[in-house]
Amino acid sequence: MHTDRDRFPFLTNTGKISEMKAQARETMRQVLAEMTAEEKQLESARLCEMLVQLIEEKEREARVGASAVMWPQLKVGTFSALLREPDLRALHDALPDVDWYYPLCRDEDQMSYYLVHDVDELERGSFGIMEPNAERHERVAAGQLDVILCPGFAFGRDGSRLGKGGGYYDRYLMGRAVHCELIGVGFACQVYDTVPVEKHDVRMNRVLEIPSS
Ligand SMILES: Nc1nc2c(c(=O)[nH]1)N(C=O)[C@@H](CNc1ccc(C(=O)N[C@@H](CCC(=O)O)C(=O)O)cc1)CN2
Ligand SMILES: Nc1ncnc2c1ncn2[C@@H]1O[C@H](COP(=O)(O)OP(=O)(O)OP(=O)(O)O)[C@@H](O)[C@H]1O
């Protein structure tokens, strides 16, 4: 059953989508600021459990018929949490066979992913985000990732995503492989039926939603 909660509630239609997106981001900053550290921790753990199930299922699919010499390892793009984002670090321990890649903003508009075995290898970089180091970590081509976990300010169940406003993800995701699954990962208060998007905004294949208890 859909309720008012499901409609993205904070918009006055100004006729300009870019203005509506800016307004929606501002509201989401306020909504997210109300979450306590404990709530964020609990929901992050829940999201990790959901992701473990999903990724294990993908691993099983990839391994049907695979041989021991060509044992497929999933390449998954993840992210380091900003203050208002879910903390996904627990995935490393829960899924040790996955190759984890983290984004690095290389200049004003380009982002690339690098292989990171241990979260302790990340260093504080642009925007205060914990990032890989281009000299120490191995870069992967955009078309090589099997799954990309995408952060954002808000997500729609229809796959729409409201990002942070840098355009990094949209530009990067244009180069993804056809089989690559894009998963929107946010807290429960970030998921609505739909959120405002422009033509260039890339749709998620799936948006995680913590079931309401
Ligand atoms: N974890 C993470 N890594 C990412 C992004 C992201 O959104 N999240 N980016 C996506 O493009 C790129 C960096 N771009 C960014 C653009 C804007 C803000 C920003 O406006 N920060 C918020 C604070 C958000 C928070 O704490 O959650 C703000 O000022 O309100 C941050 C990063 C690449 N790496
Ligand atoms: N594929 C693209 N090619 C060129 N410019 C783009 C592309 N995608 C986005 N941009 C530009 O980047 C800027 C920010 O876009 P937008 O507001 O959609 O970012 P966002 O999706 O919120 O950010 P992010 O994806 O980094 O979280 C806009 O000026 C937009 O025109």
Ordered by start, the domain boundaries in the chain are 4-207
Q: Cβ(155) to ligand 1 under 6 A?
A: no
Distance 18 CA to ligand 2 centre (A): 10
- CA–CA distance, 139 with 134 (Å, rounded to integer): 7
Task: Say whether 85 counts as a known binding-site residue.
Answer: yes
If phi over 0 gives left and psi between -120 and 50 gives alpha, with beta otherwise, what is residue 141?
Answer: beta
pLDDT digits (tens, 9 = 90+) for 89-112: 999 999 999 999 999 998 878 999
Q: Cβ(166) to ligand 1 under 6 A?
A: yes
For residue 51 the two structure tokens come to: 């992701």
Q: Cβ(79) to ligand 1 under 6 A?
A: yes
Ligand 1, closest atom to CA 80?
1
- Please give the pLDDT value at position 100: 98
For the full predicted model, state whether its pTM sits above 0.90: yes
Per the CB < 8 A criterion, the answer to whether 160 and 198 are in contact is no
Task: Say whether 106 counts as a known binding-site residue.
Answer: no
Q: Cβ(85) to ligand 2 under 6 A?
A: no
- Which residue CA neighbors atom 25 of ligand 1 most closely? 84
- Please give the pLDDT value at position 190: 97
Least distant ligand from the CA of 173 = 2
- Please give the pLDDT value at position 69: 74
Q: What's 4-207's CATH class? A: alpha beta
Distance of CA 45 to the CA centre of its chain: 15
Unique residue bearing structure tokens 């010499």: 69
| ipTM entry | 0.91
- Please give the pLDDT value at position 112: 97
Please state which of the ranges 4-13, 20-29, 162-171 shows the lowest mean pLDDT.
4-13
Of 22, 42, 146, give the one whose Cα is nearest residue 86: 42
Locate all alpha helices (DSSP H) within 68-193, ordered by sequence: 90-94, 168-173
Ligand 2, closest atom to CA 169?
25
DSSP 159: S
Q: Cβ(52) to ligand 1 under 6 A?
A: no
pLDDT cut 90: percent of the chain above it? 80
- Please give the pLDDT value at position 53: 98
